[in-house]
Structure formats: C-alpha cells, structure tokens
Amino acid sequence: MSDLSVELGPASAGGPSDDRARGGSLWADAWRELWHNPIFVLSGLAVLAILSMAAFPSLWTNADPEDCELAQGFEPPSGDHVFGTTFQGCDMYSHVVYGARPSIIIAVFVTAAVTVIGSALGIYAGYYGGWIDTVVSRITDIFLGIPFILGALLFLALIGDQSITTVSLILVALSWTPITRIMRGSVISVKAQDYVEAAKALGASNLSIIMRHILPNSLAPVIVLATLYLGGFVSAEATLTFLGVGLQIPEISWGITISEGQLIAVSQGLWHLLVFPCAALIITVLSFILMGDALRDALDPRGR
C-alpha cells in the first residue's frame, strides 16, 4: 500500500491541483478578456436592459398595455405614444416592454432545463459508457430525427393548450440533444486524463470524481451553448406564436404583436406595427448570440 501511495502520490497531487489551477486560470483569463471586449460589454448591457424589462416592466413604462381605445387605433408615433398604437388602440411601446416577459421566462426556463437534463445524460453516457451510452445515444438519435419547428407545431397543435408551460415543455423535449452530445464528448475526453485515473486508483467514488474532476472540466462548451440557446428560444417562442400554436391572446407577446400587425402593416403602410416589435425581437436574439460568441472565443481562443 505504501508503494502504491508513493507511486501515485505525485500524479494525484499534481494532476488535480494542476487541473484546478488551469481551470481557475482559464475562467480568470476568460473574464479578463470579456471585460475588455466591447462586443461582450455592449451585448451584455442590452441583455441586462431586456432582463430588467421582463422582470420590472413598470420601470420602463407607466402605460397599461391592456388600456386600449379602438378610436385611437393605427396612430403613428407621436408625443403621446412614442411607438404609436396597435390596431386595437393599445400603446405599442407598452406592448413591446411587456412582451419581453413571456419570451424571457420561456427562454430562461427552457435553457436551464435542457442544460441540466442534457448535461446529466451526457455525463452518465460519457463516463460510464457501455449499455448506458448506447441507450442514451440511440434515444438522442431518435429526438434528433424530429424536425424542430415541425415537431413543435405538431405537438402544440395536438395538446391544444398553448400556454407558457406547454410551450416551454415542448421546447425542452425537442432541445436537450445537442447539449447531451457535447457533454458526452467532453466527458470522454476529460475522463482519459491522468488525474482522473489517479483519483480512481486512490479509491475515489464515481460521484466524487464526476463532481470534482469531470463536471468542472467539461462545463465550458455547455455554458457557451446555453448562452446561444437563450437567444434561440426567444426566437423559437416568437416563431411558434406567430404561426398560431404558441402563446395566445390575452397574453402579451412579441410574436402576437407581430402576427396581429403584419397584414395591416403591409396593406396600409403602417410600418410601426411591425418595426418596433420586430426590432425588439432582433435586438434580444442578437444580443444573446453575440454574448455567446464572445464567451466561446474567450474560453477557446484556438477556435477563432
């Protein structure tokens, strides 16, 4: 036993500690680079503004989005209504502000859920291998074969109850597979490292190895993908709502506002019915994507 300890001592002492040092240095260097990256700073400020808009809409507007007067419908931007009014006579600016909430709620919930589910399945498949890996991989292949938008349209139409909860659950069911694959590949790479073998030789439990060594060193690509997912799910919710199977009135959503205004905006030239909700949607999605790209570059400079 003493010989085994002497032989494994340097590896076990050097491997994990060196790995923690490298991990700490990686994240420290990444944050230093991010704070000096103007794209990350600007997109981050935009995301903070959008999040505050979703969490505290009253900070951005005093107007009630449900206070509508049909006689004031289709008004262009003016001093009383900076974004004009909808076809129902509602204040467009308040609709843009309050429309951020359901999109952000769905995006955050779905991203958190698919990150947890996908990471857990990827870790078990990659670490244990064997039949567990085979079962998870085949299930992943099945879900990957379902077209995302078509599958969401079909399932939401069959359910018939289009609410924040049902839209979120459908998006979770169709979106966990990429994170599972990325985490599985990352785990397979990490578990082959010497410090993991040393921890096994010293008798560390599988749970301890996963929590102390596998997970921290496999998480970076998942965090990057999750950041990109936030923007993707905002876009997915708006798309499904626009197509009529997402959120429904009386819910206030960018997708609903765009859907209601599209025909009138085109036929009567009322550009403000589309420009402002579309601009809010594009800025939100683009901000999350730019944050994810900057984070990816900071964590993996070789991938630039």
Summarize pLDDT for 171-220 with one digit per residue, the tens.
999 999 999 999 999 999 888 888 888 888 888 888 888 888 888 888 88
pLDDT score recorded for residue 301: 52
What confidence tier does 60 reach under pLDDT thresholds 50, 70, 90?
very high
Contact 254, 208 (CB under 8 A): no
Q: Enter the tokens of residue 41.
A: 């700073």
Q: Enter the tokens of residue 200.
A: 């096994």
What confidence tier does 83 reach under pLDDT thresholds 50, 70, 90?
confident
Summarize pLDDT for 26-44 with one digit per residue, the tens.
667 777 878 888 899 999 9
CA 31 to CA 24: how far, in whole Å?
Answer: 11
Helix (H, G, I), strand (E, B) or coil at 73: coil
CA 209 to CA 213: how far, in whole Å?
Answer: 5
Contact 241, 225 (CB under 8 A): no
The answer to whether the bond into 178 is cis (omega within 30° of 0) is: no
What are the φ/ψ torsions at residue 160 (nearest 5 degrees)? 80, -10
102 closest CA partner among 30, 155, 41, 53? 53
Neighbouring C-beta atoms of residue 62, cutoff 10 Å: 8
Neighbouring C-beta atoms of residue 170, cutoff 10 Å: 24
109 closest CA partner among 233, 250, 236, 228? 233
* Pick among 1.10.3720.10, 3.30.565.10, 1.10.10.10, 2.60.120.460: CATH of 2-303: 1.10.3720.10
Across 2-20, average pLDDT: 40
Winning range, highest mean pLDDT, from 72-86, 231-245, 266-280? 231-245
pLDDT score recorded for residue 26: 61
**Whole-number Cα distances in Å, 299 to 23, 96, 224:** 10, 34, 9
Summarize pLDDT for 258-301 with one digit per residue, the tens.
888 887 766 676 788 888 999 999 999 999 999 988 888 887 65
Contact 92, 72 (CB under 8 A): no
Summarize pLDDT for 112-166 with one digit per residue, the tens.
999 999 999 999 999 998 899 999 999 999 998 888 988 999 999 888 778 899 9
Cα-only R_g, the chain: 24
Helix (H, G, I), strand (E, B) or coil at 223: helix
232 closest CA partner among 179, 180, 182, 272? 179
Per residue in 23-61, is it b (16+ CB within 10 Å) or e — as a string? eeeeeeebeebbeebeebeebbebbeebeebbeebeebb
pLDDT score recorded for residue 296: 82
